[in-house]
Structure formats: structure tokens, C-alpha cells
Amino acid sequence: MNLYAINTGHFKLDGGAMFGVVPKTMWNKINPSDDNNMCSWAMRSLLVEHNDRLVLIDNGIGNKQDEKFFGHYYLHGPDSLDKSLAKHGFTRNDITDVFLTHLHFDHCGGSFEWNSSKDAFRPAFANAKFWSNEKHWNHAIKPNVREKASFLKENILPIQESGQLHFLKEGEDLFPGFSVYWANGHTESQMIPVIDYKDTQLVFCADVAPSVGHIRPAWVMAYDIRPLDSMQEREFIMNRAAEKKQILFFEHDALNECAQLQMSEKGPVLERIFNLSDY
């Protein structure tokens, strides 16, 4: 099995929203904000090459929204999905599976794109199966008021209309060595991949822990719909990561790609930070 970090681009979000009730004097040391309190965040996907399958986990924000929408999120930096795939010798047409941790726009927006005349959408991954789960899907197509701005129908409904949508059941592996931890704190039935890799496992943290700063259970995002569940889920994941020396892969950390933890008297703490290619 081979794993590749795929950088789809950077965007900005409010620091207070990303760190919740944590004081700015604390989180600003980890991810400094600009004059508007906005911090830079990555949209980092993971490519899993296993036998005859090439699985892309999440795919960034895409290109379907208008200038007003993108103006809220300040897209920046030279990275793109196509550039990152090409760096490792792949194209979108090589992708056999797109695994969506959840359907917020910054995780699934790249699933479909405008056609050349910009009057209809086409699959960005023509040969791929798209994986979600039925419980989260139903939650996303009938969103609550809190998440309505994050679940965009133009990102979600075309997946089903294309016939490429498949559902994973709770407790089911995508394939041997690719298991899934289900989490409900950030959103309903978010799927967190846990992948056997070399001498350990890699945990694709998605929005259970978007960055190194979020390894602390109490550093909960204001976006989370069930903050107490988020704290319990994160505590479980971080304790297990420290005990098993798992690799934590961060989807949104603009500076830090991967980390391993060690157990201390105060609980799990950072042992080292590194890029996946250096492991």
C-alpha cells in the first residue's frame, strides 16, 4: 500500500470559529490570524494506492460556487488537486474510489465541476465510486439550521444523480486494511478512515481533529453540532493514537501534515511532527 498527501489548496476561516471557546491568546500562537481574525487552513486530501484501487479521501472545495461565495473564504496558494495528483503520476481518471468523510463543502466540493459551457455539472472523477453513508447522506440533504450553509445541494445531489453514489455501513471496511471510525460530534455520522500503513496505522483526522492544535479534547470547533461528543471522540482517538503510535494525518493544518503522540501524566502530547513522505 502506498499513501500520498494531496494538497487541493488553502482557504481562510475565522480563528474563533475554528477554536471555539479557547482564548485567542492561546490559539493564535499555533495558527496566527490576520487583521480580520482569519487563519489559513489547508484542504489536504489523502490518496491510497492499494492493489488495483486508487482511493481519494475528500477532494477540497471545488469550483462551482460564485465569486461572492469564494470571497468569504479567500482561496490562496499554488496548490491544486490536479497538480498534486500529477506530482505522483496520476490523473483524476485514475481514481477508482472517492471516500467522503462527510459532505461539508470543503470536503466534497471537488466531486463535480462545471462542464466546458458552464451550463451543467460533470463528474470530476468519471471512473470512481463515491462513498458516503446513508445516515449522513439523509442528514446532509435535509440540513439543520446550524449546518445549512455547509451542505450545498450542488455538491451533493449530482453524486446521486450520476449513479456513482455508494453507501458504507457502520462496522464495514472499505477493504481489508481500510477501516472506519464513526464520529457524531462535528456532524452526523462522519467517517474517519483508519488505514494499515507500514508498521502502524494512519488516522485521517478530517474534522475530528482538523489540526495539531485540536489534539486537545477541549479545543472544540464552534462548528461542531455536539461539542461534548466531540470531546469524548477526540479523547478516545488521541489516547489510542498515543498507545499504538498511530500516525495522525491532518486535513486542515496549513503547516503540519502528520504527527505522532506520546502519553504523559497529563494525557497524550505531541512527540513529533513530520510529512507523510518522510515516514
Tell me how far the alpha carbon of residue 189 is from its chain's centroid.
14
Q: How confident is the model at residue 117 (pLDDT cuts 50, 70, 90)?
A: confident
Instruction: At 212, give phi and psi (nearest 5°).
Output: -55, -40
pTM of the model: 0.96
What is d(CA 166, CA 8) in angstroms, rounded to the nearest whole number? 23
Q: Which three cell numbers stand for residue 133?
A: 453513508
Domain that holds residue 178: 2-278
Number of domains in the chain: 1
**Quick one: which of 37, 35, 36 has its CA closest to 27?**
37
Local confidence band at 63 (pLDDT 50, 70, 90 cut-offs): confident
Through-space distance between the first and last CA atoms of the chain, rounded to whole angstroms:
14
Helix, strand and coil percent figures for the chain, each rounded to 5: 25, 30, 45
* pLDDT tier at 271, thresholds 50, 70, 90: very high
| CATH number of the domain that residue 95 is part of | 3.60.15.10
Output the nine-digit C-alpha cell for 211: 489540526
What length is written for the chain? 279
Residue 204 and residue 110: Cα distance in Å, rounded? 18
pLDDT, the chain, mean: 96
